[in-house]
Amino acid sequence: MKLLFELEKSRPSEYVNAFTEDVALPDFGKKIELELPELSEVEVARHYSALSRTAFGVDDGAYPLGSCTMKYNPKINEAAAALEGFRDIHPLAPEKDVQGALKLMYGLGEALKEITGTDAISFAGAAGAHGEYIGLRIIKAYHAARGETRRKILVPDSAHGTNPASAAMAGFEVVNVPGDDSYGVDLDALARLCDEDVAALMLTNPTTLGLFEKNIAKIAETVHSKGGLLYYDGANLNAVMGVVRPGDTGFDVVHLNLHKTFSTPHGGGGPGAGPVCVKAFLKDYLPYPVVVSDGKTYKFAAPPESIGKVNAFYGNFSVLVKAYAYILALGAEGIRQSAETAVLNANYLKKKLQPEYPSAEGVCMHEFVVSMEKLKNLNGVTALDIAKAMIDKGIHPPTMYFPLTVHEALMFEPTETESKASLDAVAEAMKQIYSEALKDPSAMKTKPETTVVSRPDEVAAAKALKLTYDL
């Protein structure tokens, strides 16, 4: 069936005059003929249903993506965010008409301050990396108010991957801090690198290797002794929430990933939320606005030395609703139990994968990293090959080739929402893949075989982007 689209020609004189009389505008009267198939409703419905089955999420199977906490999130929290009073609220409504929403934000802020051990919070952050940027802007403003221009941000080997980029975007020089033999921060190297030009050290704890930084007290002492601040990347808070409060271990600024830790489906580009929590001496620098209360009413306020607006309106409100519903449902005991179960699940799966998938000795936290370097040296099967083969087993691949300190790395984070039966199934599938890799290494190069797209040339895709389409 041929459909004929004709766009009416429209050339407002004021548009032309705003530039010059010689501006060449497109011919809006051009006729474009499109060849479209004629389909029944049921055929269209089946087509889009089939497309939906080509995607993979936590509702479909195990999703052990390390460092991202891709856990199942209760659907009741989605229902809460979809309530008419939250869903249809307008960001420009007067404060007197949105007291319920402001009360929710205030209550969530109080809960997150308690969980993190901090004193003030802003919900302006749109996601994790944005929260990092906001935290670094706050740190820069703090030093500037003291008459200091500090140029360096220390970033350990074990830091979250976005830390260096956020520091660079905030105008800092990134200085790498190497790790020690136990994959923690090298204290001697830190002492050498930490001087009066250091604005802060950014640390993810537990680290991206799934290990708790046991020298955190000494690290905080070293950084603070030089006048620097300690920044906490909340990517891995899911492992310690309700157990360890970052503020109690010396951190001055904490960003949170509500879409990882506090119930928002994570992935697909959003939505996210990256609130930033700070100690009392930094509260005046928080971005505008913050929510305050006199015990009866709630309103927005501008901190006196605010770094200004960093997002449209007040952050991603629907994500805040889900987070608050999650925290209220779990309570203090449930929050702690979630963290403990996440750690238990990770150690259980880590043990089940041995000896085929070697990892660091000892107990891990919520995630662990295995190395496929031995298998690669044996017959050429890489971490990428193993990850691709997992797709055929109905398991989403883990994070690959990160952290860079581990060769042929695969990073697993099963989270607290996977059952023992699910973890046993993952372990069994992984052992089958390893056995297949030993028997027929060449066959591993064709995985996956059950997907619409099997093995795209990822290098070519990155180098030869096609960003336009011609009719």
- Residue partners of 165: CB distance under 8 A and separation at least 6: 129
The pLDDT of residue 31 is 74
Residue 258 pLDDT: 92
42: tokens are 């049921």
> What's the pLDDT tens digit per position in 189-213?
999 999 999 999 999 999 989 999 9
The confidence score (pLDDT) of residue 269 equals 56
> Cβ contacts of residue 126 below 8 Å, gap of 6+?
272, 273, 274, 311, 315, 316
Tell me, what's the pLDDT at 257? 93
Look up the pTM and report it. 0.87
- Is 5's pLDDT higher than 60? no
Do 245 and 266 contact (CB within 8 A), yes or no?
A: no
The residue type at 111:
A
- Nearest CA among 378, 338, 339 for reference residue 358: 378
Residue 17 pLDDT level (bands cut at 50, 70, 90): very low
On the question of pLDDT at 173 being above 70, the answer is yes
What average pLDDT does the segment 70-78 reach? 91
> What's the mean pLDDT in 41-68?
90
State mean pLDDT over 401-407: 88
State the Cα–Cα distance between residues 270 and 136, nearest whole angstrom: 22
- Helix, strand, coil shares, percent, the chain, to 5: 40, 15, 45
DSSP element (H, E) containing 199: strand 198-204
What's the mean per-residue pLDDT of the chain? Answer: 91
pLDDT for 301-332, tens place per residue? Answer: 999 999 999 998 888 999 999 999 999 999 99
Exposure string of 2-12, with b = 16+ CB inside 10 Å and e = fewer, is: eeeeeeeeeee
The first and second tokens of residue 83, run together, are 């309530």
Rounded to whole angstroms, the Cα distance separating 196 from 219 reads 15
How long a stretch of residues is the chain?
A: 471
Q: Kindly list the structural domains of the chain, giving each domain's residue range(s) and its CATH number in brackets, ordered by start.
A: 2-50 (no CATH), 75-330 (3.40.640.10), 335-451 (3.90.1150.10)
Answer whether residue 16 shows pLDDT above 50: no
In the predicted model, is pLDDT for residue 172 greater than 50?
Answer: yes
DSSP string, 95-122: GGG-HHHHHHHHHHHHHHHHHHT-SEEE
* Helices of type H across 170-316: 187-193, 216-225, 258-261
